[in-house]
Amino acid sequence: MPLFFERTFRVRHYECDAYGHLNNVNYLRYMQETAYDASAAAGYGMIAYEQSGRRWFVRETEIEYLQPVKYNDEVTVRTWVEDFRRVRSIRRYEIYAQTSHSPVATAWTDWVYLDVATNQPVSVPKEMVLAFIPEWTGSAHAQVARSRRQRFPDPPPPPSDVFRQTRRVEWRDLDPARHVNNAAYLAYIQECGTRLGEYFGWGFEKCQENGFMIVPRRHHIEYRQQAVLDDELEISTWLSGVKRSMVTRHYIIRRCKDNEMLAVDHTLYVWVNLQTNQVLRIPSALLMDFSGNIAREENNGTDQSL
């Protein structure tokens, strides 16, 4: 059985978005802080990693939001290590409201163990495996070490009117490892989505006037390369899989100077009534305005029959 660890956070006012909800980026920050504390509780704190010259870096994350959290709410993040491969490990998270104990989000992160000097993956020591999962056996370790992760899904081919935004990496985006923090990529995606809505005539104010908000239900992001200070980035995005009240938006983040792909994201968005908080049908006028940004997938075109 793995070691379970919990940490409770009080939602601060500056962590909330324009809807008064905890910004979805901050769920990742809560997860990251809890993972660091959980690692320290198992005997692997920041000092231990610095002395070893090795660190865990995020390779892939998926988070599903189940219900909104508001200012001054308290949420508890529960986390544990689910498995180990030779150089990777999946950590699971459950986030629930402290008062009602109802779940507000679930998530997992696939971490890679790297040598800091070479930036290359290295094998996870057996003693570390046993520190996080004390009952782990050698045979089980060998079995999981040979297991395969599911391949990160490719986005559908882009449509004619792909939206693109460029931005430069700022000092505030960096973490102590001196590259863009994984949560900052999600902030980039949020900002791109906001500008996209304005570009197609459906900015925040117009959505409010029409009585709905567009909220993320699930993020699935893969980090492929690291961005550093002053890198110029291009974020491109388009839609696919339109349903009655939801749609998937794809984002690709590239470094402009060499066109290297740094991150890929698939986000499921849901349309929600501002008054009732119930899901509602995507307005046909909005779909018409966004038509050039919607991928026409074979056997999976726009479907509003659901």
Number of structural domains, the chain? 2
For residues 125 and 179, state if they share a domain.
Answer: no
Residues 6+ apart with CB under 8 A from 127: none
For residues 61 and 100, state if they share a domain.
Answer: yes
CA dist 225 and 133 (Å) reads: 29
The pLDDT score that the predictor gives to residue 145 is 47
Closest by Cα among 24, 27, 266 to 152? 266
The DSSP bridge partners found for residue 273 are 212
Place of tokens 């459906």: 202
pLDDT at 255 over 70: yes
Pick from 134, 149, 164: which residue ends a domain?
149
90, 81 Cβ separation under 8 angstroms = yes
Question: How many Å is the maximal CA-CA distance in the chain?
Answer: 60
For residues 158 and 297, state if they share a domain.
Answer: yes
pLDDT band at 305 (very low <50, low <70, confident <90, very high): very low
- Judged by DSSP in three states, 277 sits in coil
In the chain, the percentage of residues whose pLDDT exceeds 90 is 88
Helices (H) and strands (E) in the chain, counts: 7, 11
Pick from 149, 184, 206: which residue ends a domain?
149
For residues 84 and 182, state if they share a domain.
Answer: no
pTM of the model: 0.91
The pLDDT score that the predictor gives to residue 136 is 75
For residues 157 and 128, state if they share a domain.
Answer: no
CA dist 22 and 25 (Å) reads: 8
For residues 260 and 276, state if they share a domain.
Answer: yes
**Full residue range of the structural domain in which residue 195 is found:** 151-306
pLDDT at 126 over 70: yes
pLDDT at 282 over 60: yes
The DSSP bridge partners found for residue 284 are none
CA dist 69 and 71 (Å) reads: 7
Residues 6+ apart with CB under 8 A from 151: none
Pick from 96, 129, 149: which residue ends a domain?
149
Q: What is the pLDDT of residues 7-46, one digit of tens each?
A: 999 999 999 999 999 999 999 999 999 999 999 999 999 9
For residues 226 and 286, state if they share a domain.
Answer: yes
262, 233 Cβ separation under 8 angstroms = yes
For residues 2 and 137, state if they share a domain.
Answer: yes
For residues 94 and 204, state if they share a domain.
Answer: no
Neighbour-count burial for 246-285, b at 16+ CB within 10 Å, e otherwise: bbbbbbbbbbeeeeeebbbbbbbbbbbeeeeeebeebeee
CA dist 293 and 282 (Å) reads: 15
The pLDDT score that the predictor gives to residue 158 is 95
Any idea what the CATH number is for the domain that residue 81 is in? 3.10.129.10
165, 252 Cβ separation under 8 angstroms = no
For residues 202 and 248, state if they share a domain.
Answer: yes
**What would the mean pLDDT of 64-77 be, rounded to a whole number?**
96
Residues 6+ apart with CB under 8 A from 92: 79, 80, 81, 82, 106, 107, 108
For residues 178 and 61, state if they share a domain.
Answer: no
Half-sphere exposure of 173 (CA within 13 A, CB side): 20
pLDDT at 138 over 60: no
For residues 172 and 127, state if they share a domain.
Answer: no
CA dist 221 and 31 (Å) reads: 15
